[in-house]
Amino acid sequence: MIQSGFAALADRLSAVTRTRPSDLDSGQIRIELLSGLTVALALVPEAVAFAFVAGVHPLVGLYAAFMVGLITAIFGGRPGMISGATGALAVVMVSLVAEHGVEYLFATVILMGVLQIVVGALRWGKFIRLVPHPVMLGFVNGLAIVIFMAQLGQFQVPGTAEASGHGMSGGEWLSGLPLAIMLGLVGLTMVIIWGLPKLTTVIPAPLAGIGITAILVILVGIETPRVGDLASIEGGLPSFHIPAVPFTWETLEIILPYAVVLGLIGLIESLLTLNLVGEITQQRGGASKECVAQGMANTATGLFGGMGGCAMIGQSMINVRSGGRMRLSGIAAALFLLSFILFAAPLIEQIPLAALVGVMFMVVIGTFAWHSFRILPKIPRTDALVVVLVTVVTVWQDLAVAVVVGVIVSALAYAWNNARRMHANIVDQPTGRVYKLEGPLFFGSADGFRDLFTPQDDPENVVIDFARSRVVDGSALQAIEDVAAKYEAAGKHLQLRHLSHDCHQLLRKAEQLIVDADDDPEYGIAVDYSVRTGAMGGGH
């Protein structure tokens, strides 16, 4: 079974790398491979650090980076996007590992993957469209700050951060000459990345920055923290391993809450990264496909001793800005990372951390939406509040909470603004009074709609014209029937015009109230409305 799975994966790998010559010439292949190499080098310290955060062995993080990265690169919804072990998931895993051990983590990651596959199969990934642009701006800015703060842990004396149990914080900070050397090498890397594209694009600038800085450090013998100071990355191939946990209801009760939270965080971060990469590469769609790919990757990772993962905005930005636009770059990054673990660990461990920090600092500069400072005074106050709020909550809590908060605030603001749009132009005619409504009628404007009418003061015949309005939900239908009941109690004759045919079916007294016309609007119902019981649940 395992061999057939690897065979299917190999077939898929062969298929996605076969492209028409016009689409994938030798120059693009070189760019894709070099971009993948750059990403792989940047993945190493991140995977090791996040493993420390979660309280697991560094190889658990590296295996996750390899397997999640490979499977999502092959099957994912956005070529060029990079996935791997992430800090957003690692911080959730801490208490699970501390209380129950790493085997429960593997079981949780498998269940997390299954849930993500279900989400993708149900095509729920499309709901990422509901995330407003101000939330995206806050997400980008918050993630840039988080990436920056994550790099600060590399300015600690090697070994002290890990000993503290926090992975990237709590250790003894560099000072004096070691700090000056570290800052100088970070600055050198950043200058190379900034200046090299002005001279040549033969090699990705981040890769050149890492290579030149590493050669300088190794040849001159500069004493500065290196990748090997974090941990040894040498290891073998990941092996198939069924988590050693009891297959009982009690185990499910332990892992299910973690799996749900991890799955949601992973999908939110992945889908937002998918949109961000799509804006850069001019690609659309693929949300549900990405959900399935993330689920497949995490399920497989849990079965091969990895800590799971999701999309990585930092490494994705490195890839696309280095020219990686196809699946080949993500596949290459995963395979390069595996080769580091198997064959090149002693060499990779000599790379100075300063070079990788410099790359990530340039990612921060390129990721942060600097124009948001310029537009904040010009956009609506609510949108500006959402941008700042999502940024702060992303840094303070986590991405999932920030996005949920941002969407809720945006939705409430939208509902409030639309509720205030409901008004009526009153026209008195010889045959009676006509209320010409304007604005959407929904739960937010239902009370305002009721207040528009004065049945006791109106003439015998009243018409409510919905030509410039739209009935949205069950609350709107209930409000219409409430107003109709008031006119009936007052002994007045009420007519409703220009309602959709769905309203004709859903309103209890449609035959007595609604006037049919050839220009009645056509739009669908959001939810069923029970005519028999009189329950409200429809809308247009």
What pLDDT, on the 0 to 100 scale, is given for residue 522?
Answer: 62
What pLDDT, on the 0 to 100 scale, is given for residue 406?
Answer: 92
> Which of residues 408 and 524 earns the better pLDDT score?
408
Encode pLDDT of 235-252 as tens digits: 999 999 999 999 999 999
Q: Is the pLDDT of residue 97 over 50?
A: yes
Q: Is the pLDDT of residue 214 over 60?
A: yes
Percent of the chain with pLDDT over 90: 54
Encode pLDDT of 312-329 as tens digits: 988 999 999 888 989 999
Q: Is the pLDDT of residue 20 over 50?
A: no
User: Which residues touch 454 (CB under 8 Å, ≥6 apart)?
Assistant: none
What pLDDT, on the 0 to 100 scale, is given for residue 534?
Answer: 40
Residue 64 to residue 69: CA distance in whole angstroms: 8
Q: Is the pLDDT of residue 111 over 60?
A: yes
Q: Chain-wide mean pLDDT for the chain?
A: 85
CATH topology of domain 420-515: Transcription Regulator spoIIAA (3.30.750)
- Which sequence spans correspond to the domains of the chain? 26-371, 379-415, 420-515
User: Which residues touch 461 (CB under 8 Å, ≥6 apart)?
Assistant: 431, 432, 433, 492, 493, 495
Q: In which band, very low, low, confident or very high, does the pLDDT at 11 lie, cut at 50, 70 and 90?
A: low
**Mean pLDDT throughout 153-173?**
62
**Mean pLDDT throughout 79-91?**
90
What pLDDT, on the 0 to 100 scale, is given for residue 172?
Answer: 84
Q: Is the pLDDT of residue 169 over 90?
A: no
Q: Is the pLDDT of residue 17 over 60?
A: no
Other CB atoms within a 10 A radius of the CB of residue 261 amount to 17
Long-range CB contacts (within 8 A, 24+) of 10-13: 12/74, 12/75, 13/74, 13/331
**Mean pLDDT throughout 63-71?**
96
Chain-centre distance for alpha carbon 412: 21
Residue 64 to residue 57: CA distance in whole angstroms: 11
